Amino acid sequence: MSIAGPAANLSLTILASLLIHCGMWLGVFRHPESAGFTHLVDAVQPGAAAGVASLLSILFSLNLLLCLFNLIPIPPLDGFGAAGLLLPEDAAGRFQRLGHRMGAYSMLGLLVAWKVFGPIFDPVFWLSVKILYPSVTYGS
């Protein structure tokens, strides 16, 4: 179950990228001159397409962020439960018991995760943008 949330976020990120490419194929969207977290696609014409472009940019970026953040193996994040999938059964049980005993420190875990997340997210975000637009180069 722990992997379900990040998998849903990854699925929404992929859906956003497919919709961006469909819009580009239809001539409604184009890649922007400069990209950022809330600006990954431009509308060719102003109007409703510009709103959809903003929505798809945020859908892509926010779900990528949530997917990666929730995979950090610190309780109470989903990554803590998913880490047990990579361990032998007895080690996974000890790991989970440790997490339950640390329940009172969950807020501290979230603060630590948030602090270390920036250096993790930035390169992954720009790699994702490079996958979204393989022939376009943006500065990070």
Q: Is residue 140 a part of any domain in this protein?
A: no
Q: Is residue 49 a part of any domain in this protein?
A: yes
Are 22 and 14 in contact by the 8 Å Cβ rule? The answer is: no
Q: What confidence score (pLDDT) does residue 3 get?
A: 81
Q: How far apart (Å, rounded) are the C-alpha atoms in residues 103 and 91?
A: 19
Q: Is residue 108 a part of any domain in this protein?
A: yes
Q: What confidence score (pLDDT) does residue 84 get?
A: 66
Are 70 and 40 in contact by the 8 Å Cβ rule? The answer is: no
111-126: per-residue pLDDT in tens? 777 787 888 899 999 9
What confidence category does residue 29 fall into, taking pLDDT thresholds of 50, 70 and 90? very high
Q: Is residue 139 a part of any domain in this protein?
A: no
Q: Is residue 8 a part of any domain in this protein?
A: yes
Number of structural domains (the chain) is 1
Structure tokens at 34: 């400069």
Nearest to 64 by CA among 1, 127, 137, 109: 127
What residues are paired with 39 via a beta bridge? 36
Q: What confidence score (pLDDT) does residue 113 get?
A: 72
Q: Is residue 138 a part of any domain in this protein?
A: no
Structure tokens at 60: 């892509």
Find the domain containing 58 and state its range.
4-132
Q: Is residue 72 a part of any domain in this protein?
A: yes
Q: What confidence score (pLDDT) does residue 102 get?
A: 64
Q: What confidence score (pLDDT) does residue 127 get?
A: 94
Q: Is the pTM of this model over 0.85?
A: no
Nearest to 21 by CA among 134, 140, 137: 134
36-89: per-residue pLDDT in tens? 999 999 999 999 999 999 999 999 999 999 999 888 877 766 766 666 666 677
